[in-house]
């Protein structure tokens, strides 16, 4: 259209193509406007980019964990394509993402499940094991994961995630919880102890800021007391038997089927046991006033606060015992320096827990100063 205009400008030969284009357009602009032409400018030259295939990146660090008759797999779905484009972009995104999981069997990997996943989010899947894989000696089973875009294309499989196949420890059954004087009592069906097995308990509090606590018990145990439970708290307990095995020089964990119970810790209304073994011995020295030394066996309650010592004058029947310790003492001994010669004293000791429950009195111990 503008080919018949001849514009000369010195130095154009020495200019770049883009600079020359801009110079020519500037000179030709009046004529172009005269003919109603509209110029949109000069584009930059360069190698054109191919459109992205939006292939999701390969899944990194997948994890596999054996528990009873199944294997749980966990991973994080990538949020970028192989050329670092956002998979979840509104325009030109990857479409609906699908996770494909396979179990390695010989030279092939057999797909056992497919599921929709979300870019950038954690995901999980479960493989229910064939009886051949959940029995026999400990050995490895391998898994791989790949993410497909909406067109069914993938950048490939992840590295292997391995778990222990073979016979697992016995599952936990008949799990129950009840408040006792020592704490929250958890019970379950016991099973014969197997060397290397142990029982693991996870306690999760529902209180804001409540922390997860881990407890343990011998493999053959049928219960345990959680003395750290707080009155009024609701706690979810997960209990399982676990075993560590060595396969090809690497340690793997074999877990039995777990069981879960939720319990609210009730107010402790259970008193400690009365102290036992109270002994009273008089101490008389010429250089000091007479005294009576007391000692007793320690209580074993985990929530014990201490002991309170009482004294009664055996020569004054019906008189109320005198409390000698204003606050519970944590010691299992006491020295009474407020005694007088010629009196027969009768002593008892009671135990107190952190809920304020008081035991019955210990068997009395008597001592007389002469």
CATH 2.60.40.10 intervals, the chain: 176-264, 279-368
Asked if pLDDT for residue 42 goes beyond 70, the answer is no
355: pLDDT strictly greater than 60: yes
Topology (CATH level 3) of domain 63-165: Immunoglobulin-like (2.60.40)
Q: What is the mean pLDDT of residues 97-108?
A: 95
Q: What is the mean pLDDT of the chain?
A: 86
Give the dihedral of Cα atoms 301, 307, 312, 314; nearest 10 deg. 50
For the segment(s) 279-368, the CATH number from 2.60.40.10, 3.40.50.720, 2.40.30.10, 3.40.30.120 is 2.60.40.10
- Asked if the model's pLDDT at residue 18 lies above 70, the reply is no
* Tens of pLDDT, residues 194-233: 888 999 999 998 888 777 899 888 888 899 988 888 778 8
> Bigger pLDDT: 83 or 207?
83
Report yes or no: 201 and 214 within 8 Å, Cβ to Cβ. yes
**pTM for this predicted structure:** 0.63
Q: Is residue 45 pLDDT above 70, yes or no?
A: no
Predicted local distance difference test score (pLDDT) of residue 192: 85
Inform me whether the pLDDT recorded for 132 exceeds 50.
yes
Alpha carbon 20 to its chain centroid, in Å, reads 68
Q: Which one of 118-127, 187-196, 280-289 scores highest in mean pLDDT? A: 118-127
What stretch of H or E contains 336? strand 333-336
pLDDT over 60 (residue 166): yes
Residue 299 has pLDDT above 60, yes or no: yes
- Whole-number pLDDT of residue 147: 97
pLDDT at position 92 over 80: no
- Topology given in CATH for the domain delimited by 176-264: Immunoglobulin-like (2.60.40)
pLDDT band of 288, cuts 50, 70, 90: confident
Residue range(s) occupied by CATH 2.60.40.2550 in the chain: 63-165
Higher pLDDT, 27 or 251: 251
Q: What pLDDT is recorded for position 12?
A: 42
**Reported confidence tier of residue 35, pLDDT bands at 50, 70, 90:** very low
pLDDT of 181 over the 80 cut? no
- The fraction of the chain above a pLDDT of 70, given in percent, is 86
Is the pLDDT confidence value at 169 over 90? yes
Over residues 48-70, the pLDDT tens digits come to 666 778 999 999 999 999 999 99
Q: Can you give the pLDDT at residue 9?
A: 44
Q: At 33, is the pLDDT very low, low, confident or very high (cuts 50, 70, 90)?
A: very low
Least confident of 45-49, 69-73, 320-324: 45-49
The better pLDDT of the pair 122, 42 is held by: 122
DSSP-assigned letter for residue 42: -
Q: What is the pLDDT of residue 233?
A: 86
Contact 58, 146 (CB under 8 A): yes
């Amino acid at each position: 259209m503008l080919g018949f205009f001849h514009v000369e400008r010195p130095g154009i030969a020495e200019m770049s193509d883009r600079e020359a284009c801009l110079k020519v357009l500037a000179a030709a602009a009046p004529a172009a406007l005269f003919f109603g032409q509209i110029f949109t400018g000069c584009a930059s030259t360069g190698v054109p980019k191919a459109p992205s295939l939006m292939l999701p990146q390969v899944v990194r660090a997948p994890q596999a964990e054996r528990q009873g008759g199944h294997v749980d797999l966990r991973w994080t779905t990538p949020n970028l394509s192989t050329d670092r484009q956002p998979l979840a972009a509104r325009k030109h995104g990857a479409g609906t993402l699908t996770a494909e999981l396979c179990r390695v069997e010989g030279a092939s990997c057999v797909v056992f499940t497919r599921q929709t996943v979300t870019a950038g989010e954690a995901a999980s899947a479960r493989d229910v094991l064939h009886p051949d894989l959940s029995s026999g000696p400990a050995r490895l089973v391998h898994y791989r994961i790949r993410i497909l875009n909406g067109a069914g294309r993938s950048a490939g499989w992840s590295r292997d995630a391995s778990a222990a196949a073979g016979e697992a420890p016995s599952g936990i059954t008949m799990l129950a919880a009840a408040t006792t004087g020592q704490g929250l009592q958890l019970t379950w069906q016991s099973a014969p102890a197997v060397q290397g097995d142990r029982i693991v308990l996870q306690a999760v509090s529902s209180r804001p800021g409540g922390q997860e606590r881990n407890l343990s018990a011998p493999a053959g145990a049928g219960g345990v007391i959680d003395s750290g439970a707080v009155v009024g708290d609701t706690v979810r307990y997960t209990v399982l038997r676990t075993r560590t095995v060595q396969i090809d020089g690497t340690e793997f964990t074999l877990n039995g089927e777990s069981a879960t119970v939720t319990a609210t810790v009730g107010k402790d209304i259970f008193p400690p046991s009365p102290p036992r073994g109270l002994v009273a011995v008089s101490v008389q020295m010429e250089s000091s006033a007479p005294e009576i030394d007391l000692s007793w066996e320690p209580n074993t309650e985990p929530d014990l606060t201490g002991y309170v010592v009482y004294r009664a004058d055996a020569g004054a029947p019906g008189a109320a015992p005198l409390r000698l310790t204003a606050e519970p003492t944590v010691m299992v001994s006491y020295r009474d320096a407020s005694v007088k010669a010629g009196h027969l004293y009768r002593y008892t000791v009671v135990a107190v827990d952190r809920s304020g429950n008081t035991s019955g009195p210990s068997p009395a111990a008597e001592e007389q100063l002469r």
